[in-house]
Amino acid sequence: MKNENSRIQEIFSKCNFRGEVKFMEPMNDHTSLRIGGPADVFVAPHDLSSLKNMKRILKQEQIPFFTLGGGTNILVRDGGIEGAVISFHSFRKIEVLSEDEEYVRLSVEAGTPLQRLVNFSKENGYSGVEGLVGIPGTVGGAICGNAGAFGYEMKDVLVSITIMDSEGEVEKFDTNRIDFGYRWSSILPTDLILSAEITLKKDKKEDVSAKVEDFLKRKREKQPLSEPSAGCVFKNPPGLSAGRLIDESGCKGMRIGDVEVSTLHANFFINRGKATASDFIRLMEEVTYRVKEKSGVILEPEIKIVGRNEV
């Protein structure tokens, strides 16, 4: 482990790279849950050529990598992440590509916070992403996991995505060549989403704004949006609500270490202070067990669990 770390440090100190590079970077600083051990190296390229160059080196040196969106739908284990974590926080441009009477076509870079896109649409009277209000994370993450709420899904506004493949080649894909499902897409983890083109419908600013405000109000009433969480922990089983099943199994307020099942919405687990990933996983197991005992339903995680157990 020590040797591998010095090897990685040596490689990166020689690499021609514009951007941020941090070694043994605590992932709890980069996740909404504020949980997670260190990444061997955390990199945030500032431009495409640096990203390409870095990708080539990672491949050549066989260093594994993990692409970080907003860090809002993941649980990073206490041992942190092996290899490189790539952040896209320098890639956050929204551009109008074309427009006519009815529609507007936008290009949105992958590191753009999803809420910046929602606000941009609200300010300009563009309809199509109102239901995505209050969902944290980046546009890249939202595409990859097909984020959605209130009957709105990311896939419904997507026209194409531009990715960098495992060879470092940049390619644009029409979204009809990609499969999307419930909080899922067929985009490979080795393909880095760089940007997307989306189409929104022009509407009255007041109408778009009213919808956004209404959805946000409903979310705030039902979800602990201001507390450190990773959003919904489990997927809704077909036709059922995971939150309701957990609630009916008597799990609200249940706590292991500093991880607590929210008393507002039972499908949110909150970090009450110094929560660890192992406590979080134990609580997930306990909740899964209780729901299975009570209703016979086996819950599937919605959050992605990544990283190693021990440093």
List residues bridging with 38 in a β-sheet. 26
Is 121 a binding residue for ligand EPU by CB under 6 A? The answer is: no
90, two tokens: 């320098």
Least spacing, CB of residue 6 vs ligand EPU, in Å? 39
Least spacing, CB of residue 149 vs ligand EPU, in Å? 3
Specify the long-range contacts of residues 269-275, CB closer than 8 Å, at least 24 apart: 269/229, 269/230, 269/233, 270/224, 270/227, 270/228, 270/229, 271/33, 271/34, 271/35, 271/227, 271/228, 271/229, 275/33, 275/34, 275/35
Burial bucket for residue 300 (CB in 10 Å: 0-12, 13-18, 19+): exposed
Strands (E), the chain: 19-26, 38-45, 65-68, 74-76, 81-87, 94-99, 103-109, 126-127, 148-149, 152-153, 158-164, 170-174, 180-181, 184-185, 192-202, 255-256, 259-261, 269-271, 304-306
Q: Tell me if 199 sits within 8 A of 128, measured CB to CB.
A: yes
> Of 182 and 289, which has the nearer Cβ to ligand EPU?
182
Residue ranges in 224-253 that form contacts with ligand EPU under rule CB under 6 A: 231-232, 235-236, 241-244, 247
> Of 149 and 194, which has the nearer Cβ to ligand EPU?
149
> Of 171 and 221, which has the nearer Cβ to ligand EPU?
221
Q: Tell me if 85 sits within 8 A of 39, measured CB to CB.
A: yes
Residue count, binding to ligand EPU (CB under 6 A) = 16
Residue ranges in 20-79 that form contacts with ligand EPU under rule CB under 6 A: none
Least spacing, CB of residue 236 vs ligand EPU, in Å? 4
Q: Tell me if 121 sits within 8 A of 105, measured CB to CB.
A: no
Residue ranges in 76-105 that form contacts with ligand EPU under rule CB under 6 A: none
Residue ranges in 198-227 that form contacts with ligand EPU under rule CB under 6 A: 222
Least spacing, CB of residue 108 vs ligand EPU, in Å? 20
Least spacing, CB of residue 130 vs ligand EPU, in Å? 12
Residue ranges in 134-193 that form contacts with ligand EPU under rule CB under 6 A: 149-150
Torsion angle, alpha carbons of 304, 307, 308, 309, to 10: -50
Residue ranges in 264-303 that form contacts with ligand EPU under rule CB under 6 A: 265-267, 302
Least spacing, CB of residue 76 vs ligand EPU, in Å? 17
> Of 169 and 300, which has the nearer Cβ to ligand EPU?
300
Q: Tell me if 217 sits within 8 A of 133, measured CB to CB.
A: no
Residue written as tokens 């529609």? Answer: 103
Least spacing, CB of residue 129 vs ligand EPU, in Å? 14
> Of 99 and 248, which has the nearer Cβ to ligand EPU?
248
> Of 161 and 242, which has the nearer Cβ to ligand EPU?
242
Least spacing, CB of residue 135 vs ligand EPU, in Å? 7
- Which residues of this protein are in contact with ligand EPU, per CB under 6 A? 149-150, 222, 231-232, 235-236, 241-244, 247, 265-267, 302
